[in-house]
Structure 1
Amino acid sequence: MKQNQPKIHVLIPDGESHLLLEVINCLSESDCLVVTVMSSKQDNPMRFSRYIDNYSYYPPSSVEDWIGYINKEVEKREVDVIMPIFETGIKALIANRQLINCSDKLLDWPSVQNFETAINKWKLYLHMSQYGISCPKTYLLRRDTPIDTMDFPLIVKPTKGFGGGLEVELLKDENEFKEFLERKTEMETEFIAQEYVRGEDYCCNVLCLDGEILNYTVQKGIMWGAKRFGAQLGQEFIYNDEILKISSELMKSLSWSGVACIDIRFDENEKEYKIIEINTRYWRSLVGSLVSGVNFPLLSILMHIKGRQLQKPYKEVKFFNLKGLVKYIRNDYRNLINLRFIWRNTALKYAILDPMPMVYKFFTRKWI
């Protein structure tokens, strides 16, 4: 980068999100950014990151007050781009855009209505059914839901959730379904039951503008932790035209702008890909996409500042996060000698280059 080229000042207003580490790792690849983070978490290890220029703590507050803090930071730091990274903050900003003093600095996102459709698994199912997009048969659970209309096994999950497999269960038969309803006597959270698709897990990560996918990666899950429905520890990045086609149909139907991570399964019985749900935010395997050659956070910023960023070929690689790296080594200790792979295809490189958040987290951990 040329010395006299102006910097781009970026504000991340929801830095309390667990995704901040992934986003900052990606943004660290560019020297053209000045990154300011706002957070409602004062004791956040990420405030020690060498790639965060300013870290501001604001206590949890109403949406109106929070946006007021954003306006304050935008003026104080001469911010060029407002970049929320998690569903809650994204939705709050697009729903209250009129409260942002410089709303043109907010990254591109879809309408509130389409965002709500995508984030709500029941609404998404109805939407996909309307547009003829392949997806598992889904039921909205109520106390009086007739069991005889259902085909087991079923996956039950909240209609709204933030990933990680929280409150996701596999019900094998009617007895387990009845036990589930008994445990959820209050039913304060709305649940769906989704046909269990036997097959392999995939994701299509996208950056869109007005329904058109401008940048993407496709990944196949190859390693999981203890929770089968939790986040993947390892992925293999591949090309798959069928996955790109079904993802394009969905994004076009939602007139989507911004990023999304589309969860997909290949139905081994029906021999077709089915969309399971959408993560309407950045995702945990962001660094994997980066290693394959697509830096989604940086591209989001550049698209907002400079316009459309054309897709470049990405590499078909395997990637493991830190937990995945540990499991990769434990599976075969001979993998320790593959230092080139470990440096290039795991998250270890980013932990070493920006060690202070991890060091702080280690020494402040409650050991007893």
Structure 2
Amino acid sequence: MNTSPSQLLKFVGRQPVMAASPPLAVTAPRPAAPPVPARPGRLTVLMLEGEYRLTGAVLLCLSRQPGVRVHLLTRDARSPYRFSSYVRTTYVAPANLPDANLATFAREVAAATGAEVLLPVDVAGMRFAIAQRPELEKALRVLPLPTASYYEIAADKGLLAAFMQCHSIPAPDTIMDIQTNLAAKLGQFRFPVLLKPIDGAGGRGIVKYASAEALLAAVAALPAGSRYIVQNCIEGYDIDCNVLYHNGRLVAHSIQKGLVPTAGEYAPTEAIEFVRNDAVLAVVDRLMRALRWNGVAHLDLRYDARDHQIKVIEINTRFWLTVVGSALAAGVNFPALACLVAAGRPVAPAPYALGRYIPFASYCKYQFGPRERQPNEIRFGLRDTSVRAFIGDPLTKLYRFLTDKD
């Protein structure tokens, strides 16, 4: 059964994120610089700062694309990226500026810098860009993004699980409403199960339960208003897919598997290898076409060893930390490609390379940190790391270290 986004949102009791309230007077000063005309072969990007590590990862990717110039728009007057060697200029908007006013401010910055594309990096930035798109597009193009309804479905574990059930997309068995008749719903459920916060990220807050009794006790102890789902625990292995879609058409993708166990059982691994897997891409394409996806996404999937099937776990509806690995090891620069697509520039389809990637800091810990060595463990070389990124933007890291800003 196919269900429209509005029907699905109503079914699970959610409403799409709406545009900001009517604008107030813009309090930020107008940039003084005159408009800068675009030059042939050059692409000027206005980047909306997001979460610190994501911002750094996307900046590094953009720095590897010839002809791309980056200006930064931030609400943080103490942003470390004021000192980034990858950023031409930084424009600071008041921290409490309403979204509608921030959109006006972004238009003024675009006029001053000649920016052609607005690039949000995290979920908050992408929601802002979706809601304020009509105002923003009076001055510059916005990164490819889906409609608000489809974005909210993809970003919400409960909504996504319901959507995949409606569209017969392989996924873990899921209980979306855990507050009503949970004991009866668990009667035919396969244990162990995972209790997951709907808005959790990076594996945080996920707990495994081996029995219905333990799970019911945990659910009864949850704070009022908290939102969780229950999913069966899949025996198998993790495999992820990164994609860029434009108006329902797949522009670029890469598929990656983890290489090194993480400290947390459900935390993502940063050491990865890029592989090819047609079954993964087939499932991903079915889902993203059903979502009428537009833009980038990172999908967490798992191979179910019992069912011999690839299943979708969740979607990260933003850029992801290992996007650097896709650019360095696989040769697929998702931030740059997304900006080129937004600007209407030609993008030639190309297969990605196979290779390994580990962040330089993780490499140092893995190589030289105290741990028990294994005879058959994977060995990495500097060519597998982001060492050039680590030393290529030193002032940002130094400021971050000195201010102890986390």
The verdict on a shared fold, with TM-score over 0.5 as the criterion, is yes
State the partner residue of 1:363.
402
Instruction: Judge conservation of contact 1:16–1:44 (CA < 8 Å) in 2.
Output: no
CA 176–69 in structure 1, closer or farther in 2 if over 3 Å, else same: farther
Deviations 1:21-57 (A, max 9, x none): 0001101102312211112223222221101111222
Could you tell me how far 1:177 is from its partner in structure 2? 1.2
Confirm or deny that 1:13 pairs with 2:52: no
Residue identity in the other structure for 1:297: P
Q: Give the alignment partner of residue 128 of structure 1, picking from 150, 164, 168.
A: 164
Q: Give the alignment partner of residue 319 of structure 1, picking from 346, 357, 369.
A: 357
Residue identity in the other structure for 2:135: L
d(CA) in 2 for partners of 1:210 and 1:123?
A: 22
State the partner residue of 1:264.
301
CA 127–104 in structure 1, closer or farther in 2 if over 3 Å, else same: farther
Residue identity in the other structure for 2:311: K
Could you tell me how far 1:364 is from its partner in structure 2? 2.4
Confirm or deny that 1:53 pairs with 2:88: yes
Deviations 1:329-355 (A, max 9, x none): 146599xxx8xx633211222111222
Residue aligned with 2:53, SS: coil
d(CA) in 1 for partners of 2:221 and 2:389?
A: 42
Residue identity in the other structure for 2:44: H
Deviations 1:144-168 (A, max 9, x none): 342242222222222234x222222
Instruction: Judge conservation of contact 1:233–1:323 (CA < 8 Å) in 2.
Output: no
State the partner residue of 2:242.
205
d(CA) in 2 for partners of 1:333 and 1:35?
A: 43
State the partner residue of 1:71.
107
d(CA) in 1 for partners of 2:319 and 2:362?
A: 19
State the partner residue of 2:130.
94
Residue identity in the other structure for 1:358: K
d(CA) in 2 for partners of 1:135 and 1:12?
A: 34
Confirm or deny that 1:182 pairs with 2:242: no
Instruction: Judge conservation of contact 1:16–1:40 (CA < 8 Å) in 2.
Output: no
Instruction: Judge conservation of contact 2:45–2:69 (CA < 8 Å) in 1.
Output: yes
Residue identity in the other structure for 1:226: A
Deviations 1:181-236 (A, max 9, x none): 233131x2321111111111111000111222110000011224322222312111
Residue aligned with 1:248, SS: helix
CA 349–179 in structure 1, closer or farther in 2 if over 3 Å, else same: farther
- Structure 2: tracts of 5 or more residues without a match: 1-38
State the partner residue of 1:25.
60
Judge which range, 302-311 or 243-252, deviates more: 302-311
Matches within 5 A, 1:162-311: 163-186=201-224, 188-291=225-328, 292-307=330-345, 309-311=347-349
State the partner residue of 1:147.
183
State the partner residue of 1:160.
199
Residue aligned with 2:265, SS: coil
Q: Give the alignment partner of residue 137 of structure 1, picking from 161, 169, 173.
A: 173
d(CA) in 1 for partners of 2:318 and 2:153?
A: 14
Judge which range, 74-83 or 53-62, deviates more: 53-62
Residue identity in the other structure for 1:160: D
CA 296–138 in structure 1, closer or farther in 2 if over 3 Å, else same: same
State the partner residue of 2:153.
117
Fraction of identical pairs, as percent: 27
Could you tell me how far 1:320 is from its partner in structure 2? 0.8
| TM-score, normalising length: structure 2 | 0.82
CA RMSD of aligned residues (A): 2.4
Could you tell me how far 1:327 is from its partner in structure 2? 3.8
Could you tell me how far 1:17 is from its partner in structure 2? 4.6
Instruction: Judge conservation of contact 2:70–2:86 (CA < 8 Å) in 1.
Output: yes
Residue identity in the other structure for 2:294: S
Instruction: Judge conservation of contact 1:15–1:40 (CA < 8 Å) in 2.
Output: no
CA 184–308 in structure 1, closer or farther in 2 if over 3 Å, else same: farther
Instruction: Judge conservation of contact 2:110–2:140 (CA < 8 Å) in 1.
Output: no
Instruction: Judge conservation of contact 1:157–1:191 (CA < 8 Å) in 2.
Output: yes
d(CA) in 1 for partners of 2:390 and 2:108?
A: 32
Could you tell me how far 1:285 is from its partner in structure 2? 0.4
How many matched pairs?
358
- Structure 1: tracts of 5 or more residues without a match: none
d(CA) in 2 for partners of 1:232 and 1:32?
A: 32
Judge which range, 267-276 or 125-134, deviates more: 125-134
